[in-house]
Amino acid sequence: MFGEPCRECGFGWSIAPADAVAWVRAFEEHAREAIGNVTGEERLDGWSVAEYVSHVGDNLRQWSERIQAMRLAGQPDVAGYDPDALADARGYARIPLEVALWSAGIAAERWADVLAAAVDEGVELQHATRGLQRAEDVVRNNCHDAYHHVWDIRRIARAFASNERRPLLVEQTPLSRVIFMCGPSGSGKSTYAKQLEDQGMVRLSYDVIMWERGISTVPLPQDIRDEIEAELRTRLLDLVREGRDVVLDFSFWSRQMRTDYRQLLGPTGVVPETIYMATDRATVLERVRARSGNHADDFELTDELAARYFDHFEPPTPDEGPLQVVRHLQTPDAESWRGKE
């Protein structure tokens, strides 16, 4: 229904239940960070900021009660509900933002306690339309709902950032663009990414940081790789907050890595695009053999390591999100990406 990861917010459905519980427990903090300085009355084409917060709180309360009905009273049957009807009945539009945040924060804490226990106990519900719902299914569904609406809130807040916080319906301002360069070593990622850099995008690269640190051999020790990745993630989020367009000149060799970065970007409202360099194996290996280690984008690899990188690469698929496949190196057009969702 939403895609893997979610085509809009970037939520990755493979998230571990414990991680999803932890994220929801901190919902109030996530929401406050996304809200920034808006009043809560702002809206684009649906609920206002405050109404989204109230909805998340109520949804978490409802599912906490449903799980507890099974845990405490042995009642597994669950019926659906109409979120819009509930919003009207509860008067979301009249609930002040601070009250909505306080209420949702309490609901998130209690939900996290209940669902963590339910996952451990293997609790199962029977939903009228969804069928069997294991506790871990409920955890992921509820986490996606909260995560998605933080994404909604951030989009609204950014749209109003330059509109004097007026509670009016306005056109959404463009978000930063983030492009994942995807392909094994030797596929042409850096050549393509540097052309995008020449057109105004900021290029972030593991190899550049390694070169700056005097590292000239790969693969990296895990602790050094983790340190560099933390630096790159921080730079990425800082650049997105500044409204800069970014090309990530990584390998993005696995679906999980791509999902992780979509999830990192989800709360910012940015939906990244993937450019997959679908270069054939013989060409990749030939290019790697021709390297001389003279600069950051020219790291030498053994034939064995280059072949292993190619053979273990997981090509991206359209269901992951916006995708462009490049089979022959061409000059990219950074502006052509703007406006695509």
Quickly list DSSP for 186-239: TSSHHHHHHHHHHTTPEEE-HHHHHHHTT---SSPPHHHHHHHHHHHHHHHHHH
pLDDT at residue number 301: 65
User: Is 251 a member of any domain?
Assistant: yes
User: Is 172 a member of any domain?
Assistant: no
Could you tell me if 141 and 267 lie in one domain? no
SS3 of residue 131 by DSSP: strand
Could you tell me if 155 and 227 lie in one domain? no
> What percent of the chain has pLDDT above 90?
46
| Residue 190 in this model has a pLDDT that exceeds 90 | no
User: Is 7 a member of any domain?
Assistant: no
User: Is 55 a member of any domain?
Assistant: yes
Residues 6+ apart with CB under 8 A from 19: none
Could you tell me if 243 and 327 lie in one domain? yes
| Residue 62 in this model has a pLDDT that exceeds 90 | yes
Q: What tokens does 166 get?
A: 């007026």
Could you tell me if 123 and 199 lie in one domain? no
User: Is 90 a member of any domain?
Assistant: yes
Question: What is the per-residue pLDDT across 169-182, written as a single tens digit (0 to 9) for each?
Answer: 444 445 788 999 99
- Across the range 263-269, mean pLDDT stands at 85
Could you tell me if 140 and 202 lie in one domain? no
pLDDT at residue number 300: 64
- Nearest to 59, CA basis, from 32, 19, 27: 27
- Nearest to 258, CA basis, from 243, 275, 277: 275
Question: What is the per-residue pLDDT across 283-335, written as a single tens digit (0 to 9) for each?
Answer: 888 887 887 656 656 566 677 877 887 888 899 988 888 888 887 554 444 43
Domain range for 257? 178-337
- Nearest to 204, CA basis, from 244, 241, 174, 151: 244
Mean pLDDT of the chain: 85
Could you tell me if 155 and 182 lie in one domain? no
pTM of the full predicted structure?
0.57
Could you tell me if 146 and 232 lie in one domain? no
